[in-house]
Structure 1
Amino acid sequence: MAVHHDRSRPVDRRVHVQGRPVDSYPALPPEVARGSVRRITVVGEEILSRPCREVTEFGTPELSALIDDMFLTMHVADGAGLAANQVGVDLRLFVYDCPDDHGVRHVGHIINPVLDLPDPRGRRLIDDSEGCLSVPGATMEVPRTDRAVVRGLDKDGNPLLVEGTGYFARCLQHETDHLLGHLYLDRLSKRDRKDALRQMADRREHVFAQRELRAARLSR
């Protein structure tokens, strides 16, 4: 998920890591320093349109390295969330570094996530601007619920429960969609989807250039 820069959102210094509050946390997660940048897949590539496989092996160096690489790739792309199939790996895993509507920062990863949304009778849908690192340069209004809970596992196989409201709830829903083989474009009308693809065609080269600049800065 691409970062939505909204200056009207309040700023809060609180940070939740893996769903739990912490006293302090660095601006760049430690995974970033250990990772390598991977290529981000783009709409139209087959891996983005099919469900990902369950992760069955935990605590492995390969899984830790993938998470490190995803964190660095997400930060280079100025993202708030990134799913494994966006770096060409068809596993049910995503990482995130995303604020909620109160400015509280949420950082972590979750494996084999299951999304739990509010009861439809009490569900509140919010239209807000949404972008995707696999649809570079495009943003569109997408309806999402203002609260979401995701249950899954961490890289060592320990159970996780992550709750989100507002913009962070949007992020949790967006990334879980990816692992089911869906892009936010799939939630748009045909007309709006064409508009998003036109935006991408116009802006993608600028977005790619910005990613290269950020990668160069982080490598210094």
Structure 2
Amino acid sequence: MAVLEVLHWPDPRLQQVCDPVPEGADLRGLAADMLDTMYAAPGRGLAGPQVGVMQRIFVMDCDWKEGVRAPQVLINPEIVSASDNLVGGVEGCLSIPDVPMDVSRPASVVMTWLDLDGQHHRREMTGFEAKCAQHELDHLNGKVIFDHLSPDDRTRLEAAYKEAQQ
């Protein structure tokens, strides 16, 4: 397959809400390319808009760096419930390279999605998997990790990012 170009912030496509994937769409080639891109980056998740595809699809593989690959493709994902318990942690983003940020998110979420065969899934995600899925879903909703920061932290880290890109 192919390694795609990853868009970098502040590309305006990273701030757009993605369209639902139409029923019956064949995304196997795109999903394979997105997984190749994610592994090559090397990342643990990648959303459609990060490669210029403005549809509600993301891929992730949370543990591949520690062992065997277990890729997941989530189409039209939704969080149907989230825990009240928030956990903070450092997150990186392939679209905002070299500037990790501390982000707080629900510790667990229940997510629904379709797979590449059109099968419906519903599962509770916890730990890093929950964090990764929420991060990628943010991309489908036009959000990046800067959007989770206080105004002062955002200003400081945006400046660090711009400096790192020069």
User: Normalising by structure 2, what TM-score?
Assistant: 0.89
Q: Distance in 2 between matches of 1:92 and 1:84?
A: 7
Q: CA deviation at 1:150?
A: 1.4
Query: Does the 8 A contact of 1:52 with 1:91 survive in 2?
Result: yes
Partner of 2:20: 54
Distance 1:202 1:162, change over 3 A: farther
Distance 1:106 1:143, change over 3 A: farther
Query: Does the 8 A contact of 2:35 with 2:71 survive in 1?
Result: no
Secondary structure of 1:98's aligned partner: coil
Q: Distance in 2 between matches of 1:142 and 1:106?
A: 25
- Is 1:126 the counterpart of 2:87? The answer is yes
Q: Distance in 1 between matches of 2:158 and 2:103?
A: 15
Query: Does the 8 A contact of 1:59 with 1:156 survive in 2?
Result: no
Secondary structure of 2:10's aligned partner: coil
Identity %: 39
Partner of 2:76: 112
Partner of 1:164: 125
CA-to-aligned-CA distance 1:3-53 (integer Å, 9 cap, x gap): xxxxxxxxxxxxxxxxxxxxxxxxxxxxxxxx2011111111111111101
Task: List alignment gaps of at least 5 residues for structure 2.
Answer: none
Among 94, 105, 120, the alignment partner of 2:58 is: 94
Q: CA deviation at 1:117?
A: 3.0
CA-to-aligned-CA distance 1:176-216 (integer Å, 9 cap, x gap): 111011111111112211232233234447xxxxxxxxxxx
- Is 1:177 the counterpart of 2:143? The answer is no
CA RMSD in angstroms comes to: 2.1
Partner of 1:44: 10
Q: How many residues align?
A: 164
AA partner of residue 195 (structure 1)? R
Q: Distance in 1 between matches of 2:33 and 2:123?
A: 22
CA-to-aligned-CA distance 1:66-105 (integer Å, 9 cap, x gap): 0011001101111111000100000000000103xxx997
Query: Does the 8 A contact of 1:84 with 1:91 survive in 2?
Result: yes
